[in-house]
Structure 1
Amino acid sequence: MSRDTEPSHADADSAAEPRLIDHLIELRARLLRAVVGLLVVFLALMPFAAEIYGALAQPLLSKLPATGRLVAVDPAGGFFVPVKLAFFAAFLITVPWLLYQAWAFVAPGLYKREKRLALPLLVSAVALFYAGCAFAFFLVLPTVFGFLAKFTPDVVAMTPDIGKYLDFVLVIFLAFGASFELPVALVILVALGWVTPQQLKDARGYAIVGVFVIAAVITPPDVVSQLMLAIPMCLLYELGIVAARWVRPVERSKA
């Protein structure tokens, strides 16, 4: 009996090895395409790095006096900070391309119903992340800087460092972009069968408290930015409950 089974195990191992190699080759190709796409966009944005930084600084410059300017404390900051921003901008622009490469690699192993659910979630996640960044740039940053400038004593000249300003803005972008993913996260939890829409509805009070705690942790220490993150997250939580009602838990075969 053992002699009969040995060839079958050997055949299975010999068949699995080419499949693993094929997957590794496919993974390498997808990673290469993702990196090349990111580098192409980055190199295309490099000549406009200073203009991009100037546009990003407008929410702060508009709240400073007419003579207000940003300063570069680091002698090389005038060069490296715009380059850092160009890379971040390239990453934001190529997010759909990067996610497409990940999707193209994973999709063949998904069931049909999982594909129908995953693709809308992927598109929604990208759209919500961009919406969070846009909300932060056009509404949150001008409001926060206006609030801070209003309470700055007249004897104090606001001359922020360009590096610290960029770090501050990137943190705000990532915080709002990630927080706007809340409806997608709730839909995924319901699709996995970990919670139900009714449980999410019953836990609304705890969720609101958690949202305000998260907003206080990941935003700068001012009430304005905390409220401007917490209130949209509460609304997005309600949106997630509504969207989750249309989702059934994914059932996978045990074969």
Structure 2
Amino acid sequence: MAGSTPGEMPFLEHLEELRWRLFKCAVAIAIGVIGAFSLLYTKRIDIVGILAQPIQPYLRQPLMVTHVGDLFDIVMNASITLGVIAASPVVVWQVWGFLSPALYGHEKKVVIPALVAAALLFLAGMALAFEYVLPVTLAFYASFESESVNTMQTVDGYMSFVTAMCLAFGAIFELPVVIALLSALGIVQPEYLSRFRRHAVVGCLIAAALITPGSDPTSLLLLTIPLYMLYEASITVSRFIARRRERRLAVEVA
């Protein structure tokens, strides 16, 4: 029994460290959610009014509430989202503090820029969806309305549509980061990506059609272009990382 103690202590210490870091993450998220809820509940930030701006030109009457808890659910979901975003620096710092001792020097140089790029690209994707794609999509759907039909838009349905579209664009904009990490690990090669450019064009077109179903050809094309630009950016990033990886391996061999 005594001989097993030294081998068990580091593992137990790691568990204790993980427990405290998770606790700090939970506290940071709780503070962020409470702070965001206080701002939204007191109407200092009208989250419903902000998210409803793109659809306002196409409404014949205000957004409808069909359940007594709809507005609370929206405010609560927005509070959780904003709280997690506000607490993300603390969460990332705690995760980094736990994982960094196990990483090599060149791996640390890749992880930090990847985390920053992932956050910026995710926000850029959400901004593009909210500022451009969402208004274009709403205009397309509104073109099918008829005077003989009384169209009523509900708050929960519209907010779910906005959230799904923004999150989808944020996730798609993570493509360069994913490719960069796979290239750093040697799983993906830039030559492989370059060989499938034609397939990427078709894939981007299909992805654009799935994200904005029913869009007109012009909107579909304007959405496909930034998606393909992300693919080209991924190839450039992959080439840069592959060259650095080859130089590092050459130095290690020498």
Give the TM-score normalised by the residue count of structure 2.
Answer: 0.85
Answer whether contact 1:187 1:240 (CA < 8 A) is retained: yes
2:140 match: 147
1:116 and 2:109 matched? yes
In 2, the alpha carbon distance for the partners of 1:97 and 1:45 equals: 16
2:33 match: 42
In 2, the alpha carbon distance for the partners of 1:153 and 1:201 equals: 47
1:240 match: 234
Cα distance change, pair 124–157 in 1 and its aligned pair in 2 (3 A): same
C-alpha displacement of 1:226: 5.2
In 2, the alpha carbon distance for the partners of 1:194 and 1:157 equals: 54
Which stretch shifts more, 232-241 or 75-84?
75-84
**Structure 2: which 5+ runs fail to align?**
none
In 1, the alpha carbon distance for the partners of 2:123 and 2:182 equals: 22
Percent identity for Structure 1 against Structure 2: 34
1:206 and 2:199 matched? yes
Cα distance change, pair 62–33 in 1 and its aligned pair in 2 (3 A): farther
1:91 match: 84
1:173 and 2:129 matched? no
1:33 match: 24
Cα distance change, pair 179–108 in 1 and its aligned pair in 2 (3 A): same
What are the superposed Cα offsets for residues 101-123 of structure 1, whole Å, 9 maximum, x if unpaired?
Answer: 22221111100010011111111
**Structure 1: which 5+ runs fail to align?**
1-6
In 1, the alpha carbon distance for the partners of 2:39 and 2:62 equals: 20
Which stretch shifts more, 41-50 or 136-145?
41-50
Answer whether contact 1:96 1:126 (CA < 8 A) is retained: no
Q: Which of 217, 225, 229 is the matching residue for 1:231?
A: 225
C-alpha displacement of 1:206: 1.5
Cα distance change, pair 41–228 in 1 and its aligned pair in 2 (3 A): farther
1:3 match: none
C-alpha displacement of 1:63: 3.1
Which stretch shifts more, 149-158 or 193-202?
149-158
In 2, the alpha carbon distance for the partners of 1:25 and 1:152 equals: 60
Give the TM-score normalised by the residue count of structure 1.
Answer: 0.85
Cα distance change, pair 70–21 in 1 and its aligned pair in 2 (3 A): same
In 1, the alpha carbon distance for the partners of 2:186 and 2:9 equals: 35
2:14 match: 23
Q: Residue 245 of structure 1 aligns to which amino acid in structure 2?
A: R
Q: Which of 48, 51, 57 is the matching residue for 1:56?
A: 51
In 1, the alpha carbon distance for the partners of 2:6 and 2:227 equals: 49
Answer whether contact 2:123 2:170 (CA < 8 A) is retained: yes
What are the superposed Cα offsets for residues 170-217 of structure 1, whole Å, 9 maximum, x if unpaired?
Answer: 111110000001111111121111121111111111222223333334
Local SS of the residue matching 2:179: helix
1:221 match: 213
Q: Which of 119, 136, 151 is the matching residue for 1:126?
A: 119
Q: Which of 153, 159, 180 is the matching residue for 1:160?
A: 153
Q: CA RMSD in A?
A: 2.4
What are the superposed Cα offsets for residues 32-70 of structure 1, whole Å, 9 maximum, x if unpaired?
Answer: 1222111111111213336112111111123324xx211
